[in-house]
Amino acid sequence: MEFSELLEEFLADQWDKEIEADILAGRLDAAGKRADSDFVAGRVIPLDALGIERKDGR
Protein backbone atom coordinates (compact mmCIF):
# COMPACT_ATOMS: atom_id res chain seq x y z
CA MET A 1 0.00 0.00 0.00
CA GLU A 2 1.33 3.45 -0.88
CA PHE A 3 1.69 6.24 1.65
CA SER A 4 -1.12 8.27 0.07
CA GLU A 5 -3.49 5.30 0.40
CA LEU A 6 -2.50 4.79 4.04
CA LEU A 7 -3.00 8.48 4.77
CA GLU A 8 -6.39 8.51 3.05
CA GLU A 9 -7.50 5.47 5.05
CA PHE A 10 -6.25 7.01 8.31
CA LEU A 11 -8.04 10.30 7.63
CA ALA A 12 -11.27 8.49 6.73
CA ASP A 13 -11.08 6.49 9.97
CA GLN A 14 -10.48 9.69 11.98
CA TRP A 15 -13.47 11.35 10.29
CA ASP A 16 -15.67 8.35 11.10
CA LYS A 17 -14.60 8.45 14.75
CA GLU A 18 -15.29 12.19 15.01
CA ILE A 19 -18.73 11.87 13.42
CA GLU A 20 -19.61 8.93 15.67
CA ALA A 21 -18.54 10.90 18.75
CA ASP A 22 -20.60 13.90 17.61
CA ILE A 23 -23.65 11.69 17.03
CA LEU A 24 -23.33 10.00 20.43
CA ALA A 25 -22.91 13.40 22.13
CA GLY A 26 -26.04 14.74 20.42
CA ARG A 27 -24.16 17.49 18.59
CA LEU A 28 -25.97 16.71 15.32
CA ASP A 29 -29.48 16.44 16.75
CA ALA A 30 -30.52 20.02 15.98
CA ALA A 31 -29.22 19.81 12.41
CA GLY A 32 -31.06 16.53 11.90
CA LYS A 33 -34.31 17.98 13.20
CA ARG A 34 -33.95 21.00 10.88
CA ALA A 35 -33.30 18.71 7.92
CA ASP A 36 -36.35 16.58 8.76
CA SER A 37 -38.50 19.69 9.12
CA ASP A 38 -37.28 21.11 5.80
CA PHE A 39 -37.95 17.79 4.07
CA VAL A 40 -41.50 17.53 5.43
CA ALA A 41 -42.18 21.17 4.47
CA GLY A 42 -40.87 20.59 0.94
CA ARG A 43 -37.95 22.98 1.36
CA VAL A 44 -35.45 20.65 -0.31
CA ILE A 45 -33.92 20.33 -3.76
CA PRO A 46 -33.52 16.83 -5.21
CA LEU A 47 -29.87 15.96 -5.81
CA ASP A 48 -30.54 15.15 -9.45
CA ALA A 49 -31.76 18.74 -9.95
CA LEU A 50 -28.26 19.80 -8.93
CA GLY A 51 -26.66 17.33 -11.34
CA ILE A 52 -25.54 15.00 -8.54
CA GLU A 53 -25.97 11.30 -9.27
CA ARG A 54 -26.95 8.87 -6.54
CA LYS A 55 -24.35 6.25 -5.73
CA ASP A 56 -26.99 3.55 -5.27
CA GLY A 57 -28.11 3.86 -8.91
CA ARG A 58 -31.71 4.89 -8.18
pLDDT tens-digit series, residues 11-52: 999 999 999 999 999 999 999 999 999 999 999 998 888 888
pTM: 0.64
DSSP state of 42: T
Q: Would you list the domain boundaries of the chain?
A: 3-50
Q: In degrees to the nearest 10, what's the CA dihedral of 43, 48, 52, 54?
A: 100
pLDDT at 8: 97
d(C-alpha 14, C-alpha 24), whole Å: 15
Under the banding of pLDDT at 50, 70 and 90, the label for residue 10 is very high
pLDDT at 58: 65
The pair phi, psi for residue 44, each rounded to 5°, is -135, 160
